[in-house]
Chains A and B, each alone.
Chain A
């Protein structure tokens, strides 16, 4: 896998905050970066996703909101191959639905799952090295410095087993490990869970930096709607297995339709 570190040329109309048409991100002629169509998935007989339609342009940062049990986690799992699904998920035109998670990961899709994602008995440094195991050895030291600059709290714990970190530190390590892979598409499931408010903002600053400077496309599930709407270029609201509303975060701030669809009536 080659390093994905282009300063994204994928914002033909002025960056992720602009443009109404997310499919424009794929370049003028080529297929869109990510196109999900008619995605249905579930667990055994229980259907959770009921036909998801979604197009994400390269370099976008998309937030997914929605009540508990709506299927947000299941959506990310279907995208990364952890649950099987029907329909179609194309990454730059390549069908990835039906591929094993490790093969999807090798195409540059890194999923930081809900709640965990670190190797507890391995040290922090080893965790970061695992994240980079598909990359050239010569890049690893520099990537490690960069990730540690994003999460300086980890620096002091490099030789400690990941399992001995605090919950918030583990969450940072999980994101740091994902960044070590230099993903093209980063899927994050409630990365702010268990983080102090200040740390949460710091984490989202990092995500924004990665998104803007490295051109990494980000899909982040986030319960904190205010935060998601502030940082993401678009917010999707999921309700019982469907994407109920998609809009531009900057324009549909809280208090507009997103707010009534997700946050409930205005206080």
Chain B
């Protein structure tokens, strides 16, 4: 993992976290180095979700800032034993994106007399942010699985292969493929869980 050279190497001597779990634990305890580490690790995930959902880099910057500020101030609501930090951050991201869209439609309402048809338009347009967050989050969580589980699930998801076909392609016994798929799916669900308080 690249931590950006000697400067960061030096801080790591003072216990800068190196695993996602360490980052999450330190974050919950209020360790500022872990806020920086969390930003370094998931800042682009949060920003990309906001930027895609909002289609506006100024608003996305604002949302990304609010997510980390809100997460830090609300860290008492985050329990590492109950969910992952990226899951929690993405929960807050959903909330802030929805807020930004609300503000946008309120601004629009202020600017023009809104017909019912126009109001419906925005509602339809707002249906996708959750899907964007989900897709980014599932990719993020997939990358976190063991190689074997990730490979089997990627073939299941993206190549739409049956477990038998995966066994043929990989040369793994069918039973092993099934085990990887099951364990991987369960681990993926666990990683994607957003803990209580994510929407605060």
A and B associate: no
A-side residues, CB < 8 A to B, are: none
Q: Which residues of B contact A (CB under 8 A)?
A: none
